[in-house]
Structure 1
């Protein structure tokens, strides 16, 4: 395997050299052929006394175009000498005088020199303009234009099975923090430092391209598919080392996406797109590295089509709310539920929320979706028990949405919804960036009498600062901390600490993802207040949820 890569690596410069030699041979051959053809025409038409000697300027100008000033002068001199040995009149056998052919040689040299100089100046101007177009001005690094051009040069136009080219895209996920703390120049200095380290980490010294303010790309030649993961892990290790920027040690977080073109099976555009999709997947799932998988395309296309149908689906009432019960661990009664959106497609089958909600949360569609969930949940809460609460999931966009607050006020004042039966569930990411603004927004919920709990606690921001200062009423511990408590003593200790923290702050603590009686027993022993999960019930349609609650009440 290693020998194959070595041979491929050695073979590529050889191939490039062969291509250049072939082109040079072709161009030189054309110039010689035209020169010989021109000389033959001059001789056949009577000699240099007639106008045909000017035909020799064609190879001179062509040489000036291909080889600039040196080519123009050399070919002009050769053409002049060829015409010097030519008779003035071949029919009469009259030879040229020295003044005649010397003047012609000077004339050829003058035209060849001027043409060569003009072509040389034009080429230099073009190369200078090309360098500017290929260079990122703030850092001097090669840019997206250079990357695209180089890929077109590297990727073979015809299938060559032995050749594989890898493309790695690297994103500095916390570049915004660097800009906020140190400024734009520091960000440029950082991208230069990261690019240098990444380039040195690639076998043979890679070439880094800056393709956006916080993204770099690396081209890896003659690579095996399995090598990209190893290379990317090495890049993660090297890239995340501290960088001294403006005398401040800076450590950044990287996300990497990679793709590979084997044997000319992809165009540069396709390779760039696949690496981009892989990088976005890494960022979305908070992974260090993701290699492109063809299934990504189908999932992205399906998700794209679904997002395009959301508004129509709302209008056609294809969405519905299902309810997953919450159980009070102290006495086993149903103390509330969580309202979870479901989409029943054209065929009557439910579309999993994971296929559309992550995309919806990053678009303006999250507003209408949340309004729908809140209206349905608010109406449903009027038929629940007096002490039952219904949880509604909110995104950071909803937290600061004035229209959403107006909707809540309308439900409370006009629809007679009891605000104490509503609970807004927010993930920790909603508080990152501006804790004061989040505090003010949450206080507005509390002023209406609506509870607010932290969803998926422990998996994100997890700062004691917001627990102390935000006016929240509950914590929902993520299922990742509940799943291992049956087998791990350490997991039980961590969970006990999280429950104690919640109780110390007078918060209602709910455990998510309960799936076994053992987990329920441990959570009860640790003093957890509430639990929800498949051990009790999955999310159910409204009528099935009511039936489930009635059956459980009869059993207790």
Structure 2
């Protein structure tokens, strides 16, 4: 309206409608059309025409404009205002359609990462109270790959949409589920406090793990969740989503349903990244070393070998626990150099150590399928003078999951060198005993979780007896790890277990301390 009044005043001040200045009235008409599309353009055109109707053709001479002149101008204003409004309407509709497409996952129809970032930024820009804030939960369907393998990608998209619809109904105030990847969703939580998250996550878990009918097949999936709530210093959606992602990864590592982000996660992650960055330098600086934990033959109490366990003595001389760096190392290309160091150190120990029995080393899934490990073991035996019977490779059951034939071939190549291969953490990984029949292994190491309950649980003793019998039926040497009490050792001996390893005897020791321990153990045993 102000533009119309200003335009009318300019036309009058410049002498009336006989000059070009009436075209200035098109400016407010076009502005109204851009803001309010066709209705706005037409209304502004009518007002502009009405204002020009009372305007003289020549204000100085007092000549009035003709009706035809006024009507022609009005029709021109209306046509231009209506056309401009229609074009602006088409442009706005097209922009909205493109925005919807940009914010929507084409496969599932759910809002996508773009929509999540925009909506979350909007929520974070709103005023919050001291007791309620904006939060986000990331949800991962942990067994989505099974759905893809069994039913295909279309079923996965259908499952994710159905899961998103189901979970969003749990959120107070009608939330939305956003698709982040093949198996990940996110939900925005409004007006929540830290105390609400446990209740909300449990409701999501209960609802989400009910079965769904996908392509006429009932499907039940497992969920893992990570959550974060905006705090002082949270800079925006990307930061909050990063924190929820870190919490989700913690859930995946710990294998429980839900984890809420804690600022200490950032510190631990940063420390871990710094450690990983120093691994290669640490190897070059000889900061790594092997410690040796003895294995005891239960039948007579003699030392029958040991396990070589990697330790990292940092720049300050303090030992860095393996749990702080090995899980990360195993998922990087650094695992190769680290395993090479372990194998070479164990080989050197085997050459110079005067005791009997094999030194066992742990290898990862990556190592098992790596030609470099086989070549190194072969070199240690053929060129370095290591007796193959003095080395043993321990692999976890998880390394066998996948292509069993590939695992069998890799193990057979190690066995062809003359080096023994044992299954570590037996009973906690692979769900089938079938691989025991087909793999050319020489031993089983029963995980400590089965040892810890032997003294007070009859079922644990029966299960242990069963695993020992299975191993002996296949001519395998059975070792129990994590033995901490005399009673546990006695039970294992009575069940026929071959070897034991644990703090009852000794923790892992540096080479010189290990030799001294072996001598003391031999003397004490002779005195007994």
TM-score by length of 2: 0.94
Tell me the equivalent position of 2:196.
227
Distance 1:185 1:93 in 2: 78
Match of 1:243 among 203, 212, 216: 212
Give the conservation status (yes or no) of the 8 Å contact 2:48–2:77.
yes
Match of 1:354 among 315, 320, 323: 323
SS at match of 1:382: helix
CA displacement at 1:517 relative to structure 2: 2.6
Matches within 5 A, 1:392-407: 392-407=361-376
Query: Could you say if the C-alpha distance between residues 263 and 340 of structure 1 is closer, same or farther in structure 2, counting changes exceeding 3 Å?
Result: closer
Match of 1:327 among 288, 296, 316: 296
Give the conservation status (yes or no) of the 8 Å contact 1:163–1:262.
no
Tell me the equivalent position of 1:41.
10
Match of 1:285 among 236, 239, 254: 254
Tell me the equivalent position of 1:504.
473
CA shift digits 1:324-348 (9 cap, x unpaired) = 1112222221111111111111111
CA displacement at 1:88 relative to structure 2: 3.4
Tell me the equivalent position of 2:273.
304
SS at match of 1:221: strand
CA displacement at 1:539 relative to structure 2: 1.2
Instruction: Structure 2: give runs of 5+ residues left out of the alignment.
Output: none
Distance 1:463 1:318 in 2: 40
Distance 1:523 1:55 in 2: 100
CA displacement at 1:262 relative to structure 2: 4.8
SS at match of 2:185: strand
CA displacement at 1:299 relative to structure 2: 1.0
Query: Could you say if the C-alpha distance between residues 229 and 398 of structure 1 is closer, same or farther in structure 2, counting changes exceeding 3 Å?
Result: same
Give the conservation status (yes or no) of the 8 Å contact 2:132–2:193.
no
Tell me the equivalent position of 2:308.
339
CA shift digits 1:206-240 (9 cap, x unpaired) = 31111111211111222222222222222223222
Distance 2:66 2:318 in 1: 99
Match of 2:99 among 130, 153, 158: 130
Tell me the equivalent position of 1:208.
177
Tell me the equivalent position of 1:365.
334
Distance 2:311 2:77 in 1: 83
Distance 1:249 1:446 in 2: 45
CA displacement at 1:264 relative to structure 2: 8.2
Match of 2:140 among 171, 177, 180: 171
Give the conservation status (yes or no) of the 8 Å contact 2:297–2:498.
yes
Match of 2:456 among 471, 487, 490: 487
CA displacement at 1:448 relative to structure 2: 1.8
1:66 aligns with 2:32: no
Matches within 5 A, 1:75-474: 75-156=44-125, 161=130, 163-262=132-231, 265-384=234-353, 387-474=356-443
Worse-superposed segment, 49-58 or 428-437: 49-58
CA displacement at 1:203 relative to structure 2: 3.0
Distance 1:249 1:157 in 2: 42
Distance 2:200 2:116 in 1: 19
Once superposed, what is the RMSD of the aligned Cα atoms?
A: 2.1
1:548 aligns with 2:520: no
TM-score by length of 1: 0.89
Give the conservation status (yes or no) of the 8 Å contact 1:159–1:264.
no
Tell me the equivalent position of 1:25.
none
Give the conservation status (yes or no) of the 8 Å contact 2:302–2:522.
yes
Worse-superposed segment, 71-80 or 366-375: 71-80
Query: Could you say if the C-alpha distance between residues 448 and 320 of structure 1 is closer, same or farther in structure 2, counting changes exceeding 3 Å?
Result: same
Give the conservation status (yes or no) of the 8 Å contact 1:68–1:117.
yes
Instruction: Structure 1: give runs of 5+ residues left out of the alignment.
Output: 1-31
Distance 2:419 2:507 in 1: 25
Give the conservation status (yes or no) of the 8 Å contact 1:324–1:539.
yes
SS at match of 1:456: strand
Worse-superposed segment, 311-320 or 92-101: 92-101
CA displacement at 1:497 relative to structure 2: 2.9
CA displacement at 1:39 relative to structure 2: 2.8
CA shift digits 1:231-284 (9 cap, x unpaired) = 222222322233333333332222211111257844111011111111122222
